[in-house]
Structure 1
Amino acid sequence: MPNRGDRGGSKTRARIAEVATELFLEHGFDDVTIAQVAAAAGVSKVTVFSHFERKEDLLLDRLPDIADLVRTALRERPDGTGAVETLRRAALTLADERHVLSGLSGDIEPIMRTITASPALIARLRAFSHEIEAELATELGPAFDGDSTLAAALLVAAYRTVAVETVRRRLAGDDLADLATTHRQRLNRAFDAVEHGIGGHSGDSTQE
Structure 2
Amino acid sequence: MDRSTGLRERKKQRTRAAISDTAIRLFLRHGFDGVSVADIAAEAEVSKPTLFRYFPTKEDLVVHRFADHQTEAADLVRGRGPGASVLDVLHRDFRARLDARDPVTGLSDHPEVLAFHGLLRSAPTLVARMGEYLAREEEALAQALHETLRTERPEITARLLAGQLVATRRTLALANWERIVAGRSADEVHPKAVADADHAFGLLRDGFREG
For normalisation by structure 2, the TM-score amounts to 0.85
CA-to-aligned-CA distance 1:49-103 (integer Å, 9 cap, x gap):
1111221121122213332321331222121111111111111121111123222
Using the TM superposition, name which of 146-155 and 118-127 deviates more.
118-127
2:105 touches 2:176 (CA, 8 Å); kept in 1?
no
* Equivalent position to 2:68, from 50, 59, 65: 65
Alignment match, 1:96: 99
Alignment match, 1:130: 135
Residues 1:8 and 1:155: Cα distance change in structure 2 (over 3 Å):
same
CA-to-aligned-CA distance 1:160-204 (integer Å, 9 cap, x gap):
111111122222212221112222221121111112239xxxxxx
- Runs of 4+ in structure 1 over 6 Å off: none
Cα offset, 1:8, TM superposition: 0.8
Alignment match, 1:8: 11
**Structure 2: tracts of 5 or more residues without a match:** none
1:133 touches 1:156 (CA, 8 Å); kept in 2?
yes
What secondary structure sits across from 1:43 in the alignment? coil
* Equivalent position to 1:141, from 141, 146, 157: 146
2:141 touches 2:162 (CA, 8 Å); kept in 1?
yes
**Structure 1: tracts of 5 or more residues without a match:** 199-208
* Equivalent position to 2:186, from 169, 176, 180: 176
What secondary structure sits across from 2:64 in the alignment? coil
Q: Distance between the aligned counterparts of 2:103 and 2:178, measured in 1?
A: 16
Q: CA RMSD, aligned part only? A: 2.1
Alignment match, 2:81: 78
More helix by share: 2
Corresponding pairs, count: 196
Alignment match, 1:187: 197
2:80 touches 2:89 (CA, 8 Å); kept in 1?
yes
Q: Does 1:36 align with 2:39?
A: yes
1:140 counterpart letter in structure 2 = L
Q: Distance between the aligned counterparts of 2:98 and 2:107, measured in 1?
A: 7
Q: Does 1:153 align with 2:156?
A: no
1:111 counterpart letter in structure 2 = F
CA-to-aligned-CA distance 1:77-136 (integer Å, 9 cap, x gap):
121111111111111121111123222232311112222221111111122221111111
What secondary structure sits across from 1:141 in the alignment? helix
2:142 touches 2:158 (CA, 8 Å); kept in 1?
yes
Cα offset, 1:142, TM superposition: 4.2
What secondary structure sits across from 2:69 in the alignment? helix
Identity %: 32
Larger radius of gyration: 2
Using the TM superposition, name which of 99-108 and 87-96 deviates more.
99-108
Using the TM superposition, name which of 53-62 and 159-168 deviates more.
53-62
Alignment match, 1:167: 177
